[in-house]
Homo-oligomer: A and B are copies of this chain.
């Protein structure tokens, strides 16, 4: 595999990066919802945790019946078993990133996993 892969995400409604970047440890999608619109179904996961962040506008997640409001700079981790559904605000459209990773898959990170160049 190449040492790196690069993709440019435009303002399409939804872009999935797993195949575009040959990701092996995550699926990442960049999503858009017009004002007042929701993903048409709630879902949970078998083994993946999901991490959401808003990069433009405002939206909210309904997580097992609880509304969690999200603006630019907010980040949320959702456990696999939780039922979640993403919506744009009634007053704003929203662009957001969703990152799927396998729960409990990270062994070490940052200085424990990094090798500084000599």
Residues on A lying within 8 angstroms of B by beta carbon are 1-10, 16-18, 20-28, 41-49, 51, 55, 61, 63-64, 68, 73-79, 81-85, 99-110, 113-117
Contact = CB atoms under 8 A, between A and B. Distances in A.
B100 A109 contact: yes
Given A49-B25, A104-B24, A105-B25, A5 B77 contact: yes
A81 to B, nearest CB: 7
B116 A43 contact: yes
Contact of A106 (B21, B24, B74, B84): B24
A4 B48 contact: no
A4 B77 contact: yes
Given A3-B79, A107-B47, A9 B113 contact: no
Contacts of A21: 51, 75-77
A16 to B, nearest CB: 7
Contact of A25 (B8, B20, B76, B103): B103
A77 to B, nearest CB: 4
Contact of A115 (B43, B76, B100, B115): B43
